[in-house]
Chain A
């Protein structure tokens, strides 16, 4: 399968714990995006990378959130001191990065904070 891969698919954690998600984009794609989606809503942009450089972060990305893409390939999204409001689907997408190229999404990581 050469699509976007996310791990884990599901994560249940207790409030206050740290969690880390991984995304492996389509190999030839140089842009990688993180989105968050809550039930009944469209995905909301969190951040994106051009190769290893993080170029933009949403106001939704509080200081408890950090994303990295150290070698310009896979990316990790860490949430520290999780809160119940962090419960959501975290989606990763990648694209060629050229103007007008579609984002291809993974199947997400479903986070539940108890």
Chain B
């Protein structure tokens, strides 16, 4: 897999490889973090979340890692499939549950 920051808008991976999408957040008071997937013409779809008292959480084929020291969040997708092709957003939130989104990264899966 490859890792990129939010500064690079596109990540291209081979089908079956692992993908790593990185995100930096700025609000040190954020205590809840979410990854969303957005397909063309649709709203953001919840993938996985993590609270600030954790540093890792696993779901089905996805893992989120949180490093509060450097304010860094990553999403790992195992065995990337064509259906994973989409734009991925990280978002963070404070006490009022108002989400602040990053600009997003396009994941493109090569067959």
Contact = CB atoms under 8 A, between A and B. Distances in A.
A43 B104 CA distance: 10
A107 B42 contact: yes
Nearest to B35: A102
A55 B104 contact: no
B103 A103 contact: no
Q: Which of A4, A55, A100, A104 has the most CB of B within 10 A?
A: A100
A102 B59 CA distance: 15
A65 interface: no
A45 B100 contact: yes
Interface stretch (A12-20, A77-85, A91-99): A91-99
Contacts of A4: 43
Contact of A42 (B32, B43, B104): B104
Contacts of B42: 107-108
A95 B99 CA distance: 11
Interface stretch (B13-21, B45-53, B70-78): B45-53
A87 to B, nearest CB: 16
A74 interface: no
Interface size class of B (residues with CB under 8 A): 20 to 34
Contact of B43 (A45, A56, A102, A105): A105
B88 to A, nearest CB: 10
Nearest to A43: B101
Interface string B29-41: 0011010100001
Given A42-B101, A100-B31, A105 B95 contact: no
B44 A43 contact: yes
5 contacts: A41-B104, A55-B96, A56-B96, A99-B97, A107-B42
Top 7 nearest A-B pairs (CB, nearest first) are A42-B101, A105-B43, A100-B32, A107-B43, A105-B44, A102-B46, A107-B42
Given A41-B103, A48-B97, 4 more contacts: A45-B100, A99-B32, A101-B97, A105-B44
